Amino acid sequence: MRDSRSPQERELIPFAGPMMVYVMSLRFPADFLRGDTYYHTKYPGRNLVRARNQLQLLAQLAD
């Protein structure tokens, strides 16, 4: 894929993973506040657990 990406795109690839984790850490609690309408949950508060997990992963990626 090296030839199909611009230099700027290649430079930003390492940023993309942590950014997606961050986005999900916001989407899970937002869905919880909306009544768990987007992400299916098997128990109450699951989206909050997911959000905490994403924040822990983000912290690990930052190390």
| Domain limits for position 36 | 2-62
- Total tally of structural domains belonging to the chain: 1
User: Cα–Cα distance between 57 and 52 in angstroms, integer?
Assistant: 9
The reported pLDDT for the residue numbered 55 is: 97
Q: What is the mean pLDDT of each run of 10 residues along the chain (63 residues)?
A: 85 92 98 96 97 97 89
Torsion of CA 41, 35, 18, 54, to 10 degrees: -50
pLDDT at position 63 is 83
How much is the pLDDT for 43? Answer: 97
Which pLDDT score is estimated for 2?
72
Indicate the pTM of the whole model. 0.82
Spatial neighbors of 59 by CB under 8 A, at least 6 apart, are: none
